[in-house]
Structure 1
Amino acid sequence: MDGVRFVRVDRTDPAGLAALTGEYDAVVDVARHPDQVRNAVAALAGRVGHFTFVSTCSVYADTATPGQRVDAAPVLAPASRDAEDPTLSAESYGACKVSCEQLVTEAFGAERVFVCRAGLIVGPEDPIGRFEYWVRRAARGGEVLAPGSPDDAVQLVDVRDLADWIVAAGERGLTGTYDGTGAPTTRAAFLADVLPDGAALTWVSQEFLVEQGVAPWSGPRSLPIWLPLPEYAGFLSRDVTPSLAAGLRTRPLAETARDTAAWLATAGPEAGQRIGLTEAEEAEILAAWHAR
């Protein structure tokens, strides 16, 4: 790419960023390991005009209260130095990101730091597969198992919109802490944008899904982007009014679904990650639901 220079570094080595010489107008860091951030802020001290740290909504301590805003929502305690988990398990991920946020802000000052707490990131080339499950499911047709209630909250952001905002934030010098995700919608609206018109939806209660051994969110025999309520009622329902006022723009979900389907059609059978219910598992659970 014209104008781009790639520099190989070792972020686990305290001296691993020595090849990054000179001064930088803007830096974007997506690290999850606090030690990598410690090495970065030490190596770049005094040489950065604006620093963006891409964090996560997993830093929040209260996942049950809907409609929380970034300026008032409590966060997890930072990971203690001896408790930092190099494997970044689900249990330690949020706390380690809190540590990273604090390290960057302490090193460069709040007046130069933009903390972007990303939500569920979706779109073409997504390697995780949560949104992709529903796009693949749309292509298969037939009766669709819809988890929970039509009014359940769903919240996500297209990777291209998030990236555009991060770049613009660096150019504008935006500072402060914001949630990097779109406004919440309902599960019914989400499925209407992803599935074909007239798709036959069968709404299955979360209690029944648990009885049938269906896992939430991700993994085998799961329903991606479904979380049990009320304990996760706040996880996909954040008030992102401050982010939208600060320049975040999100495209229609139907466009994200269309572009993801186009990517899957051209990327080959190995594209993405196959998670969720298999066709046979979905049929089995639907039959049990109808027969109850």
Structure 2
Amino acid sequence: MRILVLGGTGFLSRVVAQEAVRRGHDVTCTARGVSGTPPEGAAFVRWDRAEPVPDELTRAGSGTAGSGRAGGTTPFDAVVDVSRTPSHVRRAVTDFPDAHWTFVSTVNVYADTTTPGGTPATLPLVDPVGTDEDPKESPEVYGAMKVACENAVLAGAAAALVIRPGLIVGPGDPTGRFTYWPARLADAAADGGPVLVPEPVDEPVQLIDVRDLAVWIVDSAEVRRTGVLDGICPPLPRSGLLAQVAAGVDAAPALVPVAAAVLAEHDVTPWSGPRSLPLWIGEPEATGFLAHDVTGSLAAGLRIRPFADTARDTLAWLRATPDATVTGLTRAEEREILAALP
């Protein structure tokens, strides 16, 4: 099968391309710059998606690929896109309408973050924003632009699957959010000190290993799966996740739960960034954000590896990559907060 991975040099898109190459597919990756490299075995075409599609893509495999119909007009059987930019997605769907599309969206498209057990069929979406905006200036437009991208794919592609993941983690993660916990618990294994964790310790969390998501994306392309599905693990308590992480890095730390009000007093922020605690939302009313019902996704073939394995492999990658991003509290900041507790 001929697969076009729009991206192919970044985090998820590169792992998708790598998995497709491993299975023997003919893979072409595109990217605007040279900040990353496609996996070995994949072709690469430079493409700034604000510009017309390059001739190399329209010619690739011409006359032998397509959607399985005689005389198919697209050179690719499948397209995988992770873009958040509506104009880029609309252009690409217009250029390759006959391929099977897998569009990687986000759970940020959901307007309701309060209802646990929601599914793509039951949760309302935010209103779409079809213009190209900068989420750094207005974070709320991220999900809204993804809705517009979803709409373009579902309306314009011959067959399409929309996958809505939450936090994507594992080796190569450029955000450093999950990475904080394998690193922190490994340090605790070395120095024996306590580890600060946010309350409530059993708040539900959901995430997915990038490799599991990539496998599912390629599986779905091979069978031309369609519909809209969430791409995350079943909800599990944060304490359970941290227990798996601890097992993966051979740690058994003493965890010190700290109330959200106390963390706020010490200027600790949720989710990511400096002086933060990753995998903590910090908004009790938003627990539905990480508590979706993914029964449909599991029935559609999504498989989730133990997060102990994810933690082990993430720590190994982190140790081999000294400049890797790790967000969250510094050890000194954590000690300062622990020392101030009654």
TM-score (norm. length: structure 1)? 0.92
Q: Of the candidates 229, 234, 242, which is equivalent to residue 178 of structure 1?
A: 229
- Note if contact 2:111-2:124 (Cα within 8 Å) is conserved in structure 1: yes
Q: Secondary structure of 1:233's partner?
A: helix
The 5-angstrom pairing of residues 204-215 of structure 1 reads 204-215=258-269
Say whether residues 1:5 and 2:52 are aligned partners: no
Distance in 2 (alpha carbons) for counterparts of 1:108 and 1:99: 14
Distance in 1 (alpha carbons) for counterparts of 2:197 and 2:111: 28
Higher relative contact order (CA 8 A, sep 6+): 1
Say whether residues 1:64 and 2:114 are aligned partners: yes
Cα deviation 1:45-74 (Å, max 9, x = unaligned): 3x32x1110101110101122111111111
Q: Of the candidates 118, 121, 124, which is equivalent to residue 168 of structure 2?
A: 121
Distance in 2 (alpha carbons) for counterparts of 1:87 and 1:73: 23
- Note if contact 2:107-2:166 (Cα within 8 Å) is conserved in structure 1: yes
1:17–1:71 CA distance, 2 compared to 1 (3 A) = farther
Partner of 1:160: 211
Partner of 1:280: 332
Q: Of the candidates 131, 145, 149, which is equivalent to residue 100 of structure 1?
A: 149
- Note if contact 2:86-2:130 (Cα within 8 Å) is conserved in structure 1: no
Distance in 2 (alpha carbons) for counterparts of 1:123 and 1:4: 22
Identical residues among aligned pairs (%): 52
Say whether residues 1:270 and 2:323 are aligned partners: yes
Unaligned runs of 5+ in 1: none
Which shifted more, 196-205 or 243-252?
196-205
Q: Of the candidates 145, 148, 165, which is equivalent to residue 199 of structure 2?
A: 148
How many residue pairs get aligned? The number is: 281
* Amino acid aligned to 1:150: V
- Note if contact 1:17-1:40 (Cα within 8 Å) is conserved in structure 2: no
Over the aligned positions, Cα root-mean-square deviation in angstroms equals 1.5
Q: Secondary structure of 2:163's partner?
A: strand
Partner of 1:27: 79
* Amino acid aligned to 1:248: L
1:42–1:222 CA distance, 2 compared to 1 (3 A) = same
Partner of 1:231: 285
Partner of 2:129: 79
Which shifted more, 218-227 or 207-216?
207-216
- Note if contact 1:130-1:224 (Cα within 8 Å) is conserved in structure 2: yes
Distance in 2 (alpha carbons) for counterparts of 1:42 and 1:198: 53
- Note if contact 1:165-1:248 (Cα within 8 Å) is conserved in structure 2: yes
Q: Secondary structure of 1:117's partner?
A: strand
Cα deviation 1:185-214 (Å, max 9, x = unaligned): 101111111124431001101121112211
Partner of 1:52: 102
Q: Secondary structure of 2:262's partner?
A: helix
- Note if contact 2:232-2:294 (Cα within 8 Å) is conserved in structure 1: yes
* Amino acid aligned to 1:120: L
Unaligned runs of 5+ in 2: 1-38, 63-74
TM-score (norm. length: structure 2)? 0.79
Cα deviation 1:194-237 (Å, max 9, x = unaligned): 12443100110112111221100000000011012323201111
The 5-angstrom pairing of residues 125-136 of structure 1 reads 125-136=172-183
Q: Secondary structure of 1:277's partner?
A: coil
Q: Secondary structure of 1:19's partner?
A: helix
* Amino acid aligned to 1:270: D
* Amino acid aligned to 1:85: E
Q: Secondary structure of 1:79's partner?
A: coil
Distance in 2 (alpha carbons) for counterparts of 1:4 and 1:221: 39
- Note if contact 1:18-1:43 (Cα within 8 Å) is conserved in structure 2: no
Partner of 1:16: 53
1:224–1:193 CA distance, 2 compared to 1 (3 A) = same
